[in-house]
Structure 1
Amino acid sequence: MSNAIQFLESMGRNPSATHMSAFEYATTVAALDIEGAQKDALLERDESVLSNLLGGRDDMRCMIMAAE
C-alpha cells in the first residue's frame, strides 16, 4: 500500500485529524515519504489528481442486484 493511501487511511481512523489546523496538516504531509506530485495533490486536497497519480479509477459504481 502506498504511503499516501496509508496516510489517508490513518486520517480516516483518527477523529482528531479532522481538527488539524492547516499548518499541522501541511507539516504532516511534508513529513510523508512520498513523491512531490502526491504531496502537492494532498496539500491541494485534490482527490482527482491524487487518484490519477495512484492509478485509481476515473469512475466507480456500486450496484446491488436483488435476488429473486
Structure 2
Amino acid sequence: MAQMNLTPLDDVLDKHFGKVGTPKRDAFESDVDEALHAYRLGEAIKKARIEQNLTQEQLGGNCNH
C-alpha cells in the first residue's frame, strides 16, 4: 500500500494565506471567525425554534415583503 504524505494545516494556511500576523492571513482568520459566529448563532436560533415547536415561517412572523 502506498504511504500517504500528510501536510499540517498550518503549513497549508501559511502557503495560501501567509504567515500568522500578515494582513492576508489576518483577514482570512477574521472571515473564518465571522462565519463560525454566524453559524453558531443560526444553530442557537434553530435549536430554540425547534424547542418551541415553531416552523421557520412561524418564527419569521409570516412577513410578506
TM-score normalised by length of structure 1: 0.28
Structure label with greater radius of gyration: 2
Q: Comparing both structures, which one devotes a greater share of its residues to helix? A: 2
